[in-house]
Amino acid sequence: MPIVRIAILAAGQASRFGANKLMQLWRGQPLLSYVLEAASRTCPGQVLVVTGADAETIAPVCAEFGADTVLNPSFASGIGTSIATAARACKGDADGMLLLLGDQPLVTAAHLGELIDLWNGDPERICASRYAGTQGPPVLFGGAYLARLSELNDDSGAKEVVTGNDRVIAIDFEPAAIDIDELDDLLQLDKFSSNPK
């Protein structure tokens, strides 16, 4: 059976939020814990968290869910460096990498499982989430893309790999549109009635 590693990007400085957003409490738990729970339920023992600005602060939450961590020393250069860090950590150990953001607390294990089922081990297939008129994370990259992803080095992320690629299949999942960039974004979470767990 193909091995999928789930890589959670949690290295950013959260400059717009003004604090460590991943540790902000929502319904009594840090935002990051919702993402970790969905990931660990989907692929137990195969969860990797890319850390950076607040590595020491979020480490205990990662440990609670049995997630591995890898430090991105170049986190200040943009999200591309975190994706590259994740891809290098997964390359050789996994047949695919499922990438999601640490500030997407409404992502569910059911949706992640659906992406994995759709991917079905194809090394050249990309399975993305579709929301708010775009395609993005959570997104599963077949193993054929890991080398290219490991070379990203700026703030454009993986858009260059996904955009215009005819091997991309997308699934509608509007809750993924909610990520937390500013304090007011926390208020949007309660507009969705689905349980983030």
- Rounded to whole angstroms, how far apart are CA atoms 92 and 144? 11
Please check whether residue 84 lies inside any domain of the structure: yes
Q: Which helix (H) or strand (E) holds 127?
A: strand 126-131
Per-residue pLDDT tens digits for 59-110: 999 999 999 999 999 988 889 999 999 999 998 889 999 999 999 999 999 9
- Rounded to whole angstroms, how far apart are CA atoms 185 and 106? 12
Please check whether residue 129 lies inside any domain of the structure: yes
The edge-to-edge listing of strands for the beta sheet with 96-101 is: 68-71, 47-51, 4-10, 96-101, 134-142, 126-131, 168-172
pTM, two decimals, is 0.90
Per-residue pLDDT tens digits for 119-146: 999 999 999 999 988 899 999 999 999 9
Q: How large is the angle between the packed helices 55-64 and 31-42, nearest 10 degrees?
A: 40
C-alpha distances in Å from residue 137, one per residue of 28, 56, 73, 150: 25, 25, 22, 17
Please check whether residue 197 lies inside any domain of the structure: no
**CA 19 from centre of chain:** 20
| Mean pLDDT value across the chain | 88
Which pLDDT band holds residue 195 (cuts at 50, 70, 90)? very low
Q: What is the CATH number of the domain that holds 165?
A: 3.90.550.10
Please check whether residue 183 lies inside any domain of the structure: yes
Please check whether residue 109 lies inside any domain of the structure: yes
Please check whether residue 22 lies inside any domain of the structure: yes
Domain that holds residue 67: 4-188
Please check whether residue 176 lies inside any domain of the structure: yes
Please check whether residue 193 lies inside any domain of the structure: no
Per-residue pLDDT tens digits for 172-185: 999 988 877 666 66
pLDDT of residue 13: 62
Total domains present in the chain: 1
Pairing assessment for the beta strands 4-10 and 47-51 based on DSSP bridges: parallel
